Amino acid sequence: MSTLDPGLVARACAVLHAGGVVAYPTDTFYGLAADPRQARAVARLFAIKGRAAGQAIPLIAADEEQASSAAQFGARALRLARAFWPGPLSLVLPASGVVCQEVIAADGTVALRVPACDAARVLARTFGFCITATSANLTGAEPPTSAAIVSRTLGGAVNIVLDAGDTPGGAPSTLVDVRGETPRLVRIGAISWDRVLRSLE
């Protein structure tokens, strides 16, 4: 995967601050970024995907510090983050007050991760806050692995498509709820549940 032009990243961040939507590469597929603090930006994201409102949207962060601005981390969550980030582990945590309700699940949680993808982390870091990480496709369609597919299927609905080459696809991130006394597997993915549990021993 190629690197992103810094000037284009800066333009994309200006779009995000203005409430727009940007397509960008991750360590699996191309995703759609919006500012999760702006309800109107998230509403536009749902409209582009043809997705019903009321469904939680996962977030991507540049690093642990940025992630902690969007969610409340306990000791167990920090241990998992430090064991597997950057990488395909998403943690379900209580959302912070700055994240808009349209992103948050009904139980007040948000799922977030730091991906093993330089381009995605650079976008989040330059933007200065976590970005949404839903796949850049119409709801029910296959997630795209190239900027060309995003441009063809979503057309002018997205303000900017950041092209850093094809993404590898593959398994989604493993999703773990770490709020209770015992971590709970929500979705199996690229990291085995055994590895998650071993990291907490």
pLDDT digits (tens, 9 = 90+) for 68-83: 999 999 999 999 999 9
pLDDT, position 85 = 98
> Could you tell me the pLDDT band of residue 51, with boundaries at 50, 70 and 90?
confident
Triad 81, 166, 150: Cα angle to 5°:
100
The pLDDT assigned to 2 comes to 62
Number of neighbouring beta carbons within 10 Å of residue 8: 14
Q: Which domains does the chain have, with CATH numbers?
A: 6-199 (3.90.870.10)
Q: Which residues pair with 92 in a beta bridge?
A: 111, 177
Cα separation, 76 vs 199, whole angstroms: 10
Cis preceding linkage at 86, omega within 30: yes
122-157 in b/e form (b: 16+ CB < 10 A) is: bbbeebebbbbbbbbbeeeeebbbbbebbbeebeee
Segment 91-103 mean pLDDT: 96
In this prediction, residues 51-65 reach a mean pLDDT of 92
Identify the pLDDT of residue 155: 81
For the chain, the average pLDDT equals 94
